[in-house]
Structure 1
């Protein structure tokens, strides 16, 4: 059996949070893996409104493949990717992906391909590769930051919550407040860049969030709050 890719299982499970669920554009339901010129791979997923991308410097993709799209992934597989310890008492180290199966293994030595049901295997499950073209994720990456002009776009709270969950998954902290999210608009004002203010993640993860349409906030505060502030000042 030929393996097509291997990635950090925690990275894979975290980025999977950005994949679409049951979208007719089937390629958006998948997680995309491609090689990176600086080494390793990039893991990307998007539902068309927000996107998460992760550089895995230790990741690998078979040289015969420019990319791999992993479709069906069970909750049990995602849980095995995030587990602190597997059945052998060791944490998951590598997620191996073949054409028909994926394997979570605790064996960190990547020079030797693992057996599907070997002693280091935490979970082996049938998975589906998607035959399709993933969107060019680089096209939505802002070229530079925008000069802040005092107005911030309207953002979908559900997607912010998803990014917070990703931060928890990647950091291992149940309360990710210690790391925090850094939001910044791109120069085109069409997207918001999300990064994690954490030493281990600041240069490893990037998210993109498309703003929602919303009414322009003409006043900084609602009138009742301005009155309250004025009375306190007096």
Structure 2
């Protein structure tokens, strides 16, 4: 197995959820980890939003908190795959290599346990308020993978789920604080490909 070989478009979209806060350096990249059923998960968060993409044919030998500089993010728009090759992050299209990111590819900081905030099934869904300044990342995902995006509320003011039909994406957005109004609705379920257990290399 290649140490890392993932879908460049998914990687670019995941990076939209990364933090730019200098105090949250471990959230500046995209965490990539192997999926227990094959493929790779790409996870990014800024502490308010969380984006999870499932690359069903991707490859990842271990969890990597991947650093992406500004030129790399720009070239991801033209690439088809992102691979680690000779300890370098290399972007490729159908013709071959198109960009090599200089410097270290891995962030020196552990990505948080994102599974800890996954919402549980709920018998009711609340009315909620969101900070729309954080909307552009979700709009970009919908534009590329939608365009329709469904919204699923969580109980007790938990994160709101954003889904694009059956696409390989799950977005979470923390609602603003304020009164919630409850209405009966269907259960809130996670996609079947979300693994709620620990990452593969952390399992005991």
Tell me if TM exceeds 0.5.
yes
Aligned length: 180
Indicate whether 1:182 and 2:178 are aligned. no
For each residue in 1:9-49, what CA deviation from the matched residue of structure 2 results, as whole angstroms up to 9, or x when unmatched?
00000000000003312111121000111110100000111
User: Greater share of strand residues, 1 or 2?
Assistant: 2
Could you tell me which runs of 5 or more consecutive residues in structure 2 were left unpaired when the two chains were aligned: 182-204
Aligned match of 1:143: 120
Equivalent residues of 1:33, 1:68 under 8 A apart: yes
Aligned match of 1:163: 138
Following TM superposition, by how much is the alpha carbon of 1:132 offset from its aligned partner in structure 2, in angstroms?
2.2
Measure the CA separation in 2 of the matches of 1:167 and 1:127.
Answer: 32
Following TM superposition, by how much is the alpha carbon of 1:74 offset from its aligned partner in structure 2, in angstroms?
2.7
Which aligned segments of 4 or more residues in structure 1 are displaced greater than 6 angstroms? none
For each residue in 1:167-224, what CA deviation from the matched residue of structure 2 results, as whole angstroms up to 9, or x when unmatched?
22x33xxxx6xx2221111234311111113x5x1xx10011111124x489xxxxxx
Equivalent residues of 2:157, 2:180 under 8 A apart: no
For the pair shown, the structure with the greater C-alpha radius of gyration is: 1
For each residue in 1:72-119, what CA deviation from the matched residue of structure 2 results, as whole angstroms up to 9, or x when unmatched?
x23322222112xxxxxxxx3211135742111124xxxxxxxxxxx6
Could you tell me which runs of 5 or more consecutive residues in structure 1 were left unpaired when the two chains were aligned: 84-91, 108-118, 219-234
Aligned match of 1:32: 31
TM-score (norm 2): 0.79
- Which secondary structure state, in structure 1, belongs to the residue aligned with residue 171 of structure 2? strand
Equivalent residues of 1:33, 1:69 under 8 A apart: yes
Measure the CA separation in 1 of the matches of 2:162 and 2:141.
Answer: 11
Cα RMSD, aligned residues only: 2.3
Q: 1:152 to 1:99 in 2, by over 3 A?
A: farther
Measure the CA separation in 2 of the matches of 1:127 and 1:152.
Answer: 46
